[in-house]
């Protein structure tokens, strides 16, 4: 090797040695922790349903309005917050026009009744003459008197109905509480003219409270088996309130594919649940009889069969370290909540429910969702 080549070779060798030394000082790359959806195994006989958020509202809440037009002559200024019993008077319209109408219809009814009596007398007299002396009158005349009597009777019935309607309208000048409740809003003032069906006040019954939660369509069929439902409101986190299913919606939302479920509960002693308070509902789901064969249940997506084997497996997650391991399982039949696992798992185990075909032994993950809640 000539001197020129030696000069070129030495710097290159030196650079390679320096690069090798530097690369040895770099830390090893840390594997990323993969977020993973998971499910915690519970006892075969029962598991807690997922909790669902909702907002409280009064069981009975209505905007009250008069059914007739008129001028308000009785409406308290300090009405908001005032309690009313069922049937108590809340507001009243000026009744004079309706009283005059009732009196007018009563007079018309008296005239119609008098006319009906005269028509009955004329018909009876004409009929007697026809029977006693046929030549003194004709059958046509008798029939005409009969028609006049029937018309007079019909006029009595029509006038009676009009009188009843006038009395109803007079009664509609009184606005009464349809149930026990408290006034929460007032939309007009005294001595104002209001139209029929124009809202005057809002009445709210706080003795029973409702909360509406949206339940996914894959859970809705299990609701009849849910027991011990409770609602915990954000402002009272240590006060679970017992609740019952009041109504299950029959039409799912087109966007969220959830059904509205209405729960109802009694107002509690020691604290008051107000309309608009946020809370979460949950309950204990008793498994169907199909789980009686024993074992535990997992979502169908947690079980997989490798291409090279015939056995079924799940990925079990170590809750402390987050490391996954492949676990052989013996599966049973499909049930309402997933698939039975007769051997290989126990209550308390966490299993992966997504990405099961892309995990590897010893991989570290973080649990995204406890769907067994």
Do the domain assignments include residue 75? no
Higher-confidence residue of 48 and 187: namely 187
Q: Nearest 10 degrees: CA dihedral of 133, 136, 137, 138?
A: 70
Average confidence (pLDDT) over 348-370: 87
Cα–Cα distance list, 64 to 176, 208, 214, 230, 319 (Å): 9, 19, 29, 32, 57
Give the dihedral of Cα atoms 160, 163, 168, 169; nearest 10 deg: 150
| pLDDT at residue 43 in the model | 62
Which residue, 340, 307, 339, 312, is CA-closest to 326?
A: 312
Q: Looking at the predicted structure, is the pLDDT value of residue 7 above 80?
A: no
Q: Which of 171, 190, 223 is the last residue of a domain?
A: 171
Burial class of residue 203 in the structure, from the number of CB atoms within 10 Å of its CB (0-12 exposed, 13-18 middle, 19+ buried): buried
Residues 301 and 347 both lie in one domain: yes
Q: pLDDT tens digits, residue range 129-161?
A: 888 887 788 889 999 999 999 999 999 999 999
Examine the pLDDT at 10 and tell me if it is beyond 90. no
Instruction: Please report whether residue 353 resides in a domain.
Output: yes
Mean pLDDT of 51-80: 91
pLDDT of amino acid 170: 96
Query: How large is the average pLDDT for residues 354-363?
Result: 91
The domain that contains 339 carries what CATH number? 2.40.420.20
Owner of token pair 């905007």: 63
**Which of residues 289, 313, 335 is at a domain's end?**
289
**The predicted structure's pLDDT at residue 31:** 60
Mean pLDDT of 173-188: 94
Task: Show the tokens assigned to 118.
Answer: 């005269």
Confidence of residue 52 (pLDDT cuts 50, 70, 90): confident
Helix extents (H) in 172-324: none
Domain with residue 221: its CATH number is 2.40.30.170
Task: Write down the pLDDT at residue 286.
Answer: 57
Q: What percent of the chain has pLDDT over 70?
A: 85
Q: What is the pLDDT of residues 312-322, one digit of tens each?
A: 999 999 988 99
Q: Is the pLDDT of residue 344 over 50?
A: yes
pLDDT at 16 over 70: no
Token pair for 120:
């009955």
pLDDT digits (tens, 9 = 90+) for 286-317: 554 344 456 788 888 899 998 888 889 999 99
317 CB neighbour count, 10 Å cutoff: 25
Q: What is the pLDDT of residue 30?
A: 52
pLDDT at 370 over 60: no
Are 102 and 157 in a shared domain? Answer: yes
Cβ-based burial of 36 (10 A; exposed 0-12, middle 13-18, buried ≥19)? buried
Close Cβ partners of 56 (under 8 Å, ≥ 6 residues apart) = 209, 210, 211, 233, 273, 274, 275, 276, 277, 278, 279
Pairing of strands 34-40, 365-370: parallel
pLDDT in tens, 234-285: 999 889 999 999 998 888 888 888 899 999 999 888 888 888 899 999 887 6
Predicted TM-score (pTM) of this structure: 0.54
Q: Answer yes or no: is 280 within a domain.
A: yes
Q: Are both 262 and 306 inside the same structural domain?
A: no
User: Domain containing 134: what range?
Assistant: 96-171
Same domain? 232 vs 285 = yes
Are 165 and 227 part of one and the same domain? no
Beta bridge partners of 47: 285
Domain boundary among 289, 309, 327: 289
Give all strands of the β-sheet with 174-176 in edge-to-edge order. 174-176, 89-93, 70-74, 193-194
Q: Which tokens sit at 4?
A: 């020129």
pLDDT at 14 (0 to 100): 44
d(CA 281, CA 209): 13
pLDDT at position 1 is 46
Same domain, 276 and 295: no
Tell me the two tokens of residue 123: 């018909």
Same domain, residue pair 296 and 355: yes
**For residue 178, is it within any domain?**
no
pLDDT tens readout for residues 181-240: 999 999 999 999 999 999 999 999 888 899 999 988 777 777 777 778 899 999 998 899
- Same domain, residue pair 214 and 273: yes
Percent of the chain residues past pLDDT 90, beyond the cut = 51
Query: Residues 185-192: contacts with CB within 8 Å, 24+ apart?
Result: 185/63, 185/80, 186/75, 186/79, 186/80, 187/63, 188/72, 188/75, 189/72, 189/75, 189/77, 190/72, 190/73, 190/74, 190/75, 190/77, 191/71, 191/72, 191/73, 192/71, 192/72
Domain annotation covers residue 199: no
Whether residue 58 is predicted with pLDDT greater than 50 in this model: the reply is: yes
* Domain contains 8: no
What's the total number of domains in the chain? 3
Q: What is the pLDDT of residue 268?
A: 85
Q: How far is CA 7 from CA 1, 19, 20, 229, 362, in A?
A: 10, 19, 21, 86, 51
pLDDT of residue 193: 95
Residue 314 falls inside a structural domain: yes
Instruction: Give how far the C-alpha of residue 52 lies from the chain's centroid of Cα atoms, to the nearest Å.
Output: 12
48 against 117, higher pLDDT: 117
- Whole-number mean pLDDT of the chain? 84
Give the pLDDT band of residue 65 (cuts 50, 70, 90). very high
Has residue 191 been placed in a domain?
no
* Whether residue 210 is found in the same domain as residue 285: yes
Do 262 and 318 share a domain, yes or no? no
């Amino acid at each position: 090797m000539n001197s020129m080549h030696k000069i070129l070779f030495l710097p290159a060798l030196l650079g390679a040695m320096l690069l090798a030394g530097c690369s040895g000082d770099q830390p090893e790359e840390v594997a990323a922790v993969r977020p993973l959806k998971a499910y915690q195994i519970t006892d075969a006989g029962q598991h807690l349903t997922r909790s669902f958020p909702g907002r409280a509202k009064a069981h009975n809440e209505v905007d009250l309005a008069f059914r007739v037009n008129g001028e308000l002559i009785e409406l308290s200024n300090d009405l908001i917050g005032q309690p009313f019993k069922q049937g108590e008077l809340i507001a009243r319209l000026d009744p004079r026009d309706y009283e005059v109408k009732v009196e007018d219809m009563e007079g018309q009814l008296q005239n119609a009744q008098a006319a009906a009596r005269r028509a009955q007398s004329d018909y009876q007299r004409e009929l007697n003459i026809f029977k006693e002396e046929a030549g003194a009158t004709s059958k046509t005349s008798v029939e005409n008197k009969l028609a006049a009597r029937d018309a007079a009777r019909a006029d009595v019935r029509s006038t009676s109905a009009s009188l009843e309607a006038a009395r109803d309208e007079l009664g509609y000048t009184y606005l009464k509480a349809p149930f026990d409740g408290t006034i929460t809003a007032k939309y007009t003032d005294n001595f104002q003219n209001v139209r029929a069906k124009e809202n005057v006040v809002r009445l709210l019954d706080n003795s029973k409270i409702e909360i509406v939660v949206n339940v996914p369509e894959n859970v809705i069929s299990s609701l009849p088996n849910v027991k011990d439902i409770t609602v915990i409101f954000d402002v009272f986190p240590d006060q679970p309130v017992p609740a019952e299913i009041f109504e299950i919606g029959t039409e799912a939302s087109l966007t969220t594919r959830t059904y509205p479920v209405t729960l109802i509960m009694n107002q509690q002693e020691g604290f008051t649940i107000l309309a608009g308070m946020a809370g979460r509902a949950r309950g204990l789901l008793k498994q169907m009889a199909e789980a009686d064969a024993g074992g535990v249940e997992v979502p169908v997506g947690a079980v997989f069969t490798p291409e090279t084997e015939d056995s079924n497996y799940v990925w079990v997650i170590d809750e402390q370290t987050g490391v996954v391991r492949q676990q052989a399982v013996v599966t049973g039949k499909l049930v309402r909540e997933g698939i039975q696992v007769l051997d290989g798992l126990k209550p308390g185990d966490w299993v992966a429910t997504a990405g099961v075909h892309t995990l590897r032994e010893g991989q570290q993950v973080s649990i995204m969702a406890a769907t067994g809640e």
